[in-house]
Structure 1
Amino acid sequence: MPESLSSILADLDAGLDAAKDRGLEVRRHLARFPELSWQEEHTQAYLRERLAGLGLEARPAARTGLVCDVGEGEPMVVYRADMDALPIADPRRPGEAPAVSEVKGVSHACGHDMHCAVAVTLVDLFSQVASRLPGRIRFVFQPAEEVVPSGAEALVGEGVCDDARACFALHVDPTRFTGQVGLREGVFTAAGDPFRIEVQGQGGHSSRPYLSRDAVLAAARVVDALATIVPQRIDPLDPAVVSVGSIHGGSAPNVIAGHVNLQGTIRSFSEEARRILHEALTEAAKGAASTVGCSAEVQIDCGAPSLVNDSRLHRLMVEVVTETLGRQAIEFVERPSTGGEDFSYFGTRAPIYMMRLGVRKPGTEPRHLHTAGFDLDEAALPVAVRVMSRALLRTLTL
């Protein structure tokens, strides 16, 4: 490594202890005051104030997001952190964790508070060596990762990663212990497309079903039909999932429902499977509803595409983690996740890489993402900062 980079890294490491404490303040504040997708006004204002305290001006982007540059000129690398929380109540009481949600029914059950804390800590450290950087690091604080349309799509549309040499991100992983990271080359997460089906029948008295068209019965047929799509239409070596997560219909036990609403998701890795599933789901829903005299209207929203980790950046990350934490810290992710991740939109403009950060406390069972009471080990923050600071700096010199 060139002497100049070694000197910068030494200074980053020297400042990490103090910067870590400031980063944890950020994490705990965001954990106390989580905000849902596209509602991150307080989060945006708070982060902007923290960055201003470091002498940096962050500009709003994608309504409730922020963009902040450290360093000048080219090349540019991007680091992205998502900001939004989930409509999941935090069952913990004050004192049971370093910070618990004070917003009823909302919590950072996907760890985005830690994502922002890592990013702010990186900004803190790099701002102290900005004049010595061989280029520019753009920090993107992204709103609305959890919904469609998403914040990443909006940010990319605004050009925040145009001309970037590479884009990096991480996601907390409660199945891995603190000090471990998950790395994978190639396909990392699936495309996720939400759908809605409106089943329309004809309501009536439950004593005279022959005078009605039962939308509940039609909806049951639709759900059954959707369960056959993947095994009947998709190559078994090309994984895909179709799930119905919500059904609403009917108003009384003695009234045959004339309308039912279904919602679910399509998840796929290849564009071919994605195309087939969109067509097959529409055909199956309409056909199944028609067997009992009802109709079905289908709407499928295209969510984030599949996330693909760049091969060159993967090799760099293996080197960086090995040098920083040791080879034993790497857990190679054998199979991609069928979960979705809108960081993939950044990959439509530049090479991207997402790392999984172990946040499971030693001696504990994992508290999974998107569950009430999700928790993480704050000791993972400096681990993330050490790895990502090196990855960003090395990428500037590729």
Structure 2
Amino acid sequence: MIERAWQSELAAMITAQEAKWINFRRRLHQNPEPSGHEYQTSLAIYQELSSLGVDLRMGPEGRGVLSDWRTPHAEGLEAAIAIRGDIDALRIHDQKEVPYHSLCPGLMHACGHDAHATMALWATTLIVELDRAGALPWPLRLRSIFQPAEETCTGALEMISVGALKDVREIYATHVDPTLPTGRIGLRVGALTASCDAVRILIHGQGGHGARPHESRDPIAASAQLISALYLSIPRVTDSQDAVVLTFGRIHGGENLNVIPEQVELLGTLRTLDTDVRQRTIDHIHRIASGVQRATDTTIEVCFDVGTSAVINQAKPISHLKSAIVESFGHEAIYEIPRASMGGEDFAFYLDHVPGAMARLGCRPPAVEHAPLLHSPMFDIDEAVLAIGARMLASAAIHAFEPKPAHEQL
């Protein structure tokens, strides 16, 4: 591992500042705000950035923050590198016994967004301070995006609508991963997460007495038949090498044990990794629902609310991340992710417009064999990951502006 002069300066800054940013992350962790209500979190980030002298804008309705930094007097920097941190929490009650546990009953940062925001904020600070110290090896332009409402898949689109990607050429993000030990950084070119669509199915029948089902058109029986048909048929009409997950998480119909209801509602999620597979699966679901409708003499409405497409990491941004990781932590820090996750991430919306990459940062204490997983009421991070993520993001942004040799320039 060869450390350049600016890397040495960066490492020294991180060591000196680590306690401050651990405390900042704990402050966010104690004061979580759910998707759509991230006002105080946004204000806290805005106040930290305002002391740097960067150009600042609030997101829509005072939620989310955009900051810009451009090396003074730099020429030829028409586009920025962006880093993104999400800021919303989940409606989960924090059950950890730690001094910084959530102070808001029923709300907690159970997906690491407090860590992601802290890393992006710290990385922004590091770049600005390196620049002002004259330690940057070359000019750069940075856009930092602190995004609300990732969990509801609306925040990225909101930030894009107010210009978050204007004059941006690449974007980077992090996600903590409790299945990896702290110090390992997971990278993957291509699909990292799945597309995610919400499925809503309404089954309309004819209600009646539970003792005389022959006088009704039972939507509960139709829903049972439909779920069974979908769970059995979708894997049989899908290539076994194509990943598809269809899951129903809610069934609602009826109020009384002896009354056949008029309607049943099914809510679920569809996850795929390929756009063609996604559309074919949607078509299959409609076809199967139509068959059950005819067989049960009910009316079945199938609706898809498009969530996110798959996060597709591009090769060039991954190469910048690899350069940053190798110079900072060595080759052994890199974990090549073997296959995509079927989880969803609205970071994909940014990648619909510009190339970019997301890295998975191990956050499990090395001495711990199994840590609580994401979205668990016991979830926490090894706070050493904050310094790792901040250094990686700052280094990757710097590497992205490294001048090319003359023979590589167009």
> Which TM-score bucket, shorter chain as reference?
over 0.9
Moved more, 328-337 or 64-73: 64-73
1:23 maps to 2:21: yes
1:239–1:269 Cα contact (<8 Å) kept: yes
Shift of 1:21: 2.1
**Displacement after TM superposition at 1:180 (Å):** 0.8
Match of 1:60 in 2: 58
Distance in 1 (CA, whole Å) between partners of 2:167 and 2:52 is 26
Distance 1:326 1:6, change over 3 A: closer
The aligned residue for residue 118 of structure 1 is 119
* 2:34 and 2:89 in contact (8 A); partners too: yes
Asked if structure 2 preserves the Cα contact closer than 8 Å seen for 1:229 and 1:277, the reply is no
Q: Output the amino acid matched with 1:250.
A: G
Equivalent residue for 2:353?
Answer: 349
2:386 aligned partner:
381
Match of 2:147 in 1: 142
What code does the residue aligned with 2:366 have?
P
The answer as to 2:181 corresponding to 1:182 is no
CA change 1:384–1:263 in 2 (3 A) is same
Aligned 8 A contact 1:19 1:124 in 2: no
Q: Verify the 8 A CA contact 2:69 2:143 in the aligned structure 1.
A: yes
Q: How many angstroms does 1:253 deviate by? A: 1.0
Separation of aligned partners in 1, 2:333 and 2:53: 35
Aligned counterpart in structure 2 of residue 84 of structure 1, from 81, 88, 91: 88
> Does the 8 Å CA contact 2:7/2:328 hold for their aligned counterparts?
no
Residue 47 of structure 1 corresponds to which residue in structure 2?
45
Is 1:104 aligned with 2:105?
yes
What residue identity is the alignment partner of 2:40?
H
TM-score, length-scaled by structure 1: 0.93
Give the partner amino acid of 1:146.
E
Gaps of 5+ in 1: none
Q: CA deviation at 1:382?
A: 0.8
Aligned residues of 2:323 and 2:396 also touching (Cα < 8 A):
no
Matches within 5 A, 1:218-367: 218-364=222-368, 365-367=370-372
| Contact 2:124 2:394 (8 Å CA) reproduced | no
Structure 1: distance between partners of 2:150 and 2:102 = 19
What letter corresponds to residue 363 of structure 2 in structure 1? V
| Paired residues of 1:48 and 1:57 also in contact (CA < 8 A) | no
- Give the Å deviation of 1:345: 1.3
Contact kept in structure 2, 1:143 and 1:152, CA below 8 Å: yes
| Whole-angstrom CA distance in 2 between matches of 1:62 and 1:20 | 31
1:367 alignment partner, SS class: coil
Partner of 2:407: none
Instruction: Work out whether residues 192 and 312 of structure 2, in 8 Å CA contact, stay in contact via their aligned partners in 1.
Output: yes
The one-letter code sitting in structure 2 at the alignment partner of 1:34 is P
- The alignment status of 1:69 with 2:68, answered yes or no, reads yes
User: Quick one: which amino acid aligns to residue 241 of structure 1?
Assistant: V
C-alpha separation between the residues in 1 aligned to 2:99 and 2:180? 20
Residues 184-217 of structure 1, C-alpha deviation per residue, up to 9 Å, x if partnerless?
1111111111111111112222112122221111
Shift of residue 241 of structure 1? Answer: 1.1
The answer to whether the 8 Å contact 2:84/2:172 transfers is yes
SS at match of 1:355: strand
For residues 241 and 341 of structure 1, what CA distance do their matches in structure 2 show? 16
Q: Is the 8 A contact 2:206 2:262 kept in 1?
A: yes
User: Separation in 1 of the partners of 2:84 and 2:194?
Assistant: 19
**Equivalent pair of 1:22/1:121 in contact (CA under 8 Å):** no
Say which of 4, 12, 15 aligns to 1:14.
12
2:23 is matched by which residue type in structure 1?
Answer: E
Q: Residue 177 of structure 1: CA displacement?
A: 0.5
How far off is 1:354 after superposition?
0.6
Cα deviation for residue 181 of structure 1 reads 0.7
Change (3 A) 1:20 1:98: farther
Contact 1:178–1:377 at 8 Å: present in 2 too?
Answer: yes
Deviation track 1:95-140 (CA, whole Å, cap 9, x = no partner) reads x224211112111111000001111111222221345551211100
1:139-160 deviations in Å (ceiling 9; x for gaps): 0001111114x21122223331
One-letter amino acid matched to 1:28: R
Deviations 1:74-111 (A, max 9, x none): 4410000011111111112xxx2242111121111110
Query: What residue identity is the alignment partner of 1:69?
Result: D
Matches within 5 A, 1:145-184: 145-148=150-153, 150-184=154-188
User: Partners of 1:341 and 1:85 in 2: how far apart?
Assistant: 14
Partner SS for 1:137: strand
1:200 — aligned with what?
204
Counterpart in 2 of 1:34?
A: 32
**2-structure distance, mates of 1:250, 1:311:** 52
Q: Distance in 2 between matches of 1:39 and 1:195?
A: 25
Residue pair 1:28, 1:98 contacting (<8 A) in 2 also: no
> Matched residue of 1:129: which SS?
helix
- Partner of 1:394 in structure 2? 399
Corresponding letter in the other structure for 1:177: P
Measured after TM superposition, the shift of residue 46 of structure 1 is 1.6
Q: State whether residues 162 and 349 of structure 1, in contact with CA within 8 Å, keep that contact through their aligned partners in structure 2.
A: no
